[in-house]
A and B are shown apart, each in its own frame.
Chain A
């Protein structure tokens, strides 16, 4: 395995073909595909119903009937992990979607307009940025109660300034090009220029960023659910499963392993995918993960 080997020197046209020979990228694709496939299967089929409680069968170890055993209430752990994958994907897609829609909109406006509109948008994103996702989730939860939707909103809000900044700085570069200016000269409005020239050019940056935010969203949702602020029982969530497992650690440590492995593999897959895409699309891109 050669995780993290970079590809800075390759020429642009060659990158896509090289990409498919990169073991990390392939691993990322494989893990992400598994995650998505699991979630899709869980839509139509799970070995047991996720909320099928059977107290007498609780806390069983792995067996032919229950591949990963049963939890405190006798529910099938594998089934719950599968639906948990679905849950994670929904959270990731919606939270990243919120960030994309509002962030790109604001970032594009800021870049196109400049001046005080730019200033207001960027200062606004500073304010939102000042609230770590967990704090806004805590406040939102206190306001309208805990739940998956509220966790998604909190993570989505956190994503808006990320995308706004990425879009704005990429778009400003595009706006500096001659041909973009030429668009204005031939009578196109700023909206049309943004649509025709700016967005196609920032798309690759956004794809990379979205992949990475997706991974962050999964981690954030798991943390929120662990704290009781995210997905609520009886809906299964990986983070919530870990919370329940922690109280049973002394008698059934196994329960604390599987959901964690699931989170780590999902995040690893998305991160590798994002890294690979970045190397292929735009190696100079900053590592925004830290933000």
Chain B
């Protein structure tokens, strides 16, 4: 009882302090995170914006499974599951008495509703292909859900852990964009547009009582706010130069982790002379990954040699396939009869693309390829490059986890078409044996490197900075989330 009263007193004091506008960094149960982009809305099942998941994933909304900091699948709403021998039937047992924040009980019927909504004909889910293998979702009893597949899907449990697969209530599904109601340890309090989003703990679910996501678009302002104590953490600082300011500061921890973002120089594989593997290899030889990583990201970022994340257990280091060698690149171009090549390089807005593009263009120039830089907005990039295939080169970070499968698709924007790769990937999809999967993933990576499909540059780093006393923050970013359910002050 005394403890309880004390807690009330503390929170009242904190409220008072907050009202008077004085920063309170040492508070033990509140957390203020700085984020760069404001989410367009807060419904992870109706948009691709990473900023949505960055607020609500695991905190407000829960799926059957969740993906943890290492990228592994963990139970969430489903406490356990079993898979039939043919890999076609998954049976999930829900954890005891989950509740939505509006008080309604979360039952198997809600899971059926959510997954059917995500894969149905009227679905506006940005990741609808995640559910493509699902044939039927049924409620066996209020605590049991059965998912039947039309074909084996090795990644089903992983896919169900995405933010796009969270379980929502039929009663609130339509209003989640502005007032998200989930079943997670934190409930949504308020959203001051352009400024901040506030969450508070649902009784005893987490060490923190209150979490505020403060939107600060400018990295230098984020740095200033951190130093001033206005915010406690910036999980992902978008300006690597800003990190330098903290590395010597004993009050802060700088966490350099990894993301799922393979940053690549995408090549239009069907457009002559880029359909010639020698030309693509010449481009690969022309790229000096170290200069790109240094110049673009101040050295933060891991060079990659194929389309695969270095932190993944099945990663194969193929960066030595095409070492930086301008002479070799020129020779290859000459051999292919593609000297004095003129190409376009379309660059979307992020720093890695715009800054990286300038460096890549200079490196290509050094081997005799004139790359004309064309900056584009995301809307134009999506329409021209991604949908329209109207490009020679572009730089983009593919941030979906385990997305090597894009190379097996027909008509994907870089137009890679390899029967060999497709068969390896088909085997991978069918297989659920970890050793076999790792072997197939290795083969897939090698094929991509061999064909020099794209200029594989580097894995984007996750650069986090937070106060030393803060524990349990995600260092890596296997999904674009800020799971604060395990965060506490020391």
Contact = CB atoms under 8 A, between A and B. Distances in A.
B291 A247 contact: no
- The size class of the interface chain A forms with chain B is 20 to 34
Contact of B375 (A52, A146, A246): A146
Contacts of A251: 241, 244-245
Contact of A233 (B219, B294, B375): B375
Contact of A53 (B354, B358, B377): B358
Contacts of A247: 219-220, 239, 241-242
A68 interface: no
Shortest Cβ-Cβ A-B pairs, 3 listed:
A53-B362, A55-B295, A55-B291
23 contacts: A52-B362, A53-B291, A53-B295, A53-B358, A53-B362, A55-B291, A55-B359, A58-B295, A72-B355, A145-B376, A232-B373, A233-B357, A233-B358, A233-B375, A247-B219, A247-B239, A247-B241, A247-B242, A248-B241, A250-B220, A250-B242, A250-B245, A251-B241
A51 B219 CA distance: 26
B361 interface: yes
B118 interface: no
A248 B219 CA distance: 10
A30 interface: no
Contacts of B241: 72, 247-248, 250-251
Given A72-B295, A233-B375, A53 B245 contact: no
Given A74-B295, A251-B241, 19 more contacts: A51-B361, A51-B365, A52-B362, A53-B291, A53-B295, A53-B359, A55-B294, A55-B359, A145-B374, A145-B380, A234-B358, A234-B361, A234-B373, A247-B219, A247-B239, A249-B220, A250-B220, A250-B223, A250-B245
Interface in A143-170: 145-147
A43 interface: no
B290 to A, nearest CB: 8
Nearest to A247: B239
A248 B361 CA distance: 23
Contacts of B373: 232-234
A182 to B, nearest CB: 57
Interface in A217-249: 228, 232-234, 246-249
Interface of A: 51-53, 55-56, 58, 72-74, 142, 145-147, 228, 232-234, 246-251
A233 B374 CA distance: 9
B220 A73 contact: no
Interface of B: 219-220, 223, 239, 241-242, 244-245, 291, 294-295, 349, 354-355, 357-359, 361-362, 365, 373-377, 380
B355 A73 contact: yes
Nearest to A141: B377
Majority DSSP secondary structure for residues of B touching A = helix
A251 B358 CA distance: 22
Contacts of A145: 374-377, 380
B362 A51 contact: yes
A272 to B, nearest CB: 34
B384 to A, nearest CB: 10
B360 to A, nearest CB: 10
Nearest to B242: A250
Nearest to B294: A55
A233 B359 contact: no
Contacts of B377: 142, 145-146
B242 to A, nearest CB: 7
A162 B285 CA distance: 54
A184 B354 CA distance: 60
Contacts of B357: 233
B358 A246 contact: no
Contacts of A250: 220, 223, 241-242, 245
Contacts of B365: 51
Contacts of A56: 294
Contacts of B358: 51, 53, 73, 233-234
A73 B358 CA distance: 9
